[in-house]
């Protein structure tokens, strides 16, 4: 017999800043080495390994051997979804350096929300898909139009194949930095993967940050009518860096 869910156990795993940094880094959806995660969290390899072991034992991470390396990723889409919801509740962190300010701006411009595009780039692209008639709003979600299917087919994305999978094709995912929705679901994931493959988006190792390349700006406007200026950050109340 088991009792009710032990929420405190998950809270304990999240309460450490190093573990939180590791989890947020792995929202990039990929496999990442322990050394890269240690560098990102600015801790020693041995300390990072101890935290990774706790997160793995707690069911939040999966580890895969690769030669002499051990590569880590979030254990499931559900973990990623839960982290994104918590980010909506979390207060902004204090900025103590120009490096932190630049990192924050980069995350706001474009990032991976596990396997789909988020941040200003994700929200702007979703808005354009709606305004261009490629998507329509359906209750609290999106639906693909016939013109959307044709446009996606031109990018080698077969919507019929996506519909045959158990995962929802579209999902409206609330963006924690833009406070607006971006496109998730199997379509959001497939579109993001294709944009990365074509070099229209560029990712960084051990980071959620992605950027729209110069080629991507041209091609996204040509295919979907997304104007480059729509990718610029919206005005935000400035946060004064600590001295």
- Assess whether 124 and 74 both reside in one domain: no
Indicate whether 237 belongs to any domain: no
Q: How far apart are CA 164 and CA 17, in angstroms?
A: 40
Indicate whether 184 belongs to any domain: yes
- Assess whether 148 and 200 both reside in one domain: yes
Single pTM value for the model: 0.89
- Assess whether 76 and 129 both reside in one domain: no
State the number of CA atoms in the 13 A half-sphere of 4 facing the CB: 2
- Assess whether 83 and 135 both reside in one domain: no
Residue 167's pLDDT band (cuts 50, 70, 90): very high
At 199 the pLDDT is: 98
- Assess whether 158 and 78 both reside in one domain: no
Last residue of a domain, one of 91, 112, 146: 91
- Assess whether 107 and 226 both reside in one domain: yes
Residue 150 · residue 124 · CB < 8 Å = no
Q: How far apart are CA 120 and CA 102, in angstroms?
A: 15
Indicate whether 238 belongs to any domain: no
C-alpha to C-alpha distances, 124 to 11, 19, 72, 165, 212, nearest whole angstrom: 33, 31, 31, 27, 12
HEC string for the chain = CCCCCCHHHHHHHHCCHHHHHHHHHHHHCCCEEHHHHHHHHCCCHHHHHHHHHHHHHCCCEEEEEECCEEEEEECCHHHHHHHHHHHHHCCCCCCCCHHHHHHHHHHHHCEEECCEEEHHHHHHHHHHHHHCCCEEEECCEEEECHHHHHHHHCCCCCHHHHHCCCCCCCEEEECCCCCCEEEEHHHHHHHHHHHHHCCCEEECCCCCEEEECHHHHHHHHHHHCCCHHHHCCCCCCCCCCCC
- The arithmetic mean of pLDDT across residues 53-73, rounded, is 94
Residue 127's pLDDT band (cuts 50, 70, 90): very high
Residue 4's pLDDT band (cuts 50, 70, 90): confident
At 93 the pLDDT is: 83
Kindly report the CATH number assigned to the domain that includes residue 35: 1.10.10.10
Indicate whether 242 belongs to any domain: no
Counted domains in the chain: 2
| Nearest by Cα to 223 from 124, 134, 116, 161 | 134
Last residue of a domain, one of 46, 63, 91: 91
Residue 237's pLDDT band (cuts 50, 70, 90): very low
Domain housing 147 = 101-231
- Assess whether 116 and 63 both reside in one domain: no
Last residue of a domain, one of 69, 91, 113: 91
C-alpha to C-alpha distances, 6 to 9, 10, 12, 76, nearest whole angstrom: 6, 7, 10, 19
Q: How far apart are CA 54 and CA 52, in angstroms?
A: 5
Q: Using the structure block, give the residue that is written with the tokens 């041209």.
A: 218
- Assess whether 220 and 109 both reside in one domain: yes
Residue 120 · residue 234 · CB < 8 Å = yes
- Assess whether 217 and 157 both reside in one domain: yes
Residue 242 has pLDDT above 70, yes or no: no
- Assess whether 108 and 57 both reside in one domain: no
């Amino acid at each position: 017999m088991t009792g009710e869910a032990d929420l405190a156990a998950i809270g304990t795993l999240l309460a450490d800043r190093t573990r939180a940094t590791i989890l947020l880094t792995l929202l990039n959806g990929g496999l990442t080495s322990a050394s890269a995660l240690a560098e990102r969290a600015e801790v020693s390899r041995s300390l990072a390994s101890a935290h990774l072991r706790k997160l793995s034992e707690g069911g939040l991470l999966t580890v895969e051997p690769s030669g002499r390396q051990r590569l880590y990723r979030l254990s499931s889409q559900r973990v990623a979804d839960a982290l994104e919801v918590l980010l909506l509740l979390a207060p902004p962190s204090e900025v103590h350096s120009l490096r932190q300010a630049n990192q924050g701006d980069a995350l706001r411009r474009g990032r991976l929300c596990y396997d789909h595009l988020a941040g200003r780039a994700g929200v702007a692209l979703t808005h354009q898909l709606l305004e261009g008639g490629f998507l329509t709003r359906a209750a609290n979600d999106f639906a693909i139009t016939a013109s959307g299917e044709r446009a996606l087919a031109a990018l080698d994305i077969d919507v019929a194949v996506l519909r045959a999978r158990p995962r929802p094709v579209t999902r409206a995912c609330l963006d924690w930095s833009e406070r607006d929705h971006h496109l998730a679901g199997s379509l959001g994931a497939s579109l993001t993967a294709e944009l990365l493959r074509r070099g229209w988006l560029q990712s960084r190792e051990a980071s959620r940050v992605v950027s729209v390349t110069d080629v991507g700006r041209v091609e996204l406007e040509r295919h979907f009518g997304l104007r480059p200026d729509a990718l610029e950050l919206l005005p935000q109340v400035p946060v004064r860096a600590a001295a």
